């Protein structure tokens, strides 16, 4: 096996790491940290609107203590925010 191919395989392994489930409050904290820099601009009950200068507007509608599955966390970070899987894993850590 060629070294270049091994590095590609290693990056694929990293990207396929499962994203852990987390409470909604923890997810919002992750979104508000650097480099995403989201801010809660509106809240009505459990529905929050988050804005960032660099990323699209998000609407999160979970109670703080609700456990969000890793699949849903991944979907929010990759599809709604627009991060790659590797970037999503780094944001969570």
Mean pLDDT to the nearest integer, 65-92: 94
| pLDDT score at 32 | 96
Sequence ranges of the domains in the chain: 3-92
79 pLDDT higher than 60: yes
pLDDT given at position 1: 37
With a cut of 90, say whether residue 65 has pLDDT above it.
Answer: yes
Note the pLDDT tens digit of each residue in 1-54. Answer: 333 443 443 444 455 678 999 999 999 999 999 999 999 999 999 999 999 999
Under 8 Å between Cβ of 50 and 28: yes
Give the separation between CA 69 and CA 21, rounded to whole angstroms: 4
């Amino acid at each position: 096996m060629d070294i270049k191919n091994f590095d590609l395989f290693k990056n694929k392994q990293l990207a396929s790491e499962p994203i852990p489930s987390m409470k909604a409050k923890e997810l919002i904290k992750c979104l508000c940290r650097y480099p995403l820099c989201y801010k809660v601009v509106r809240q009505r009950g459990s529905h929050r609107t988050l804005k960032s200068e660099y990323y699209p507007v998000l609407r999160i509608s979970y109670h703080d203590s609700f456990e969000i599955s890793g699949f849903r966390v991944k979907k929010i970070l990759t599809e709604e925010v627009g991060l790659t899987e590797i970037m999503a894993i780094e944001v969570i850590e």
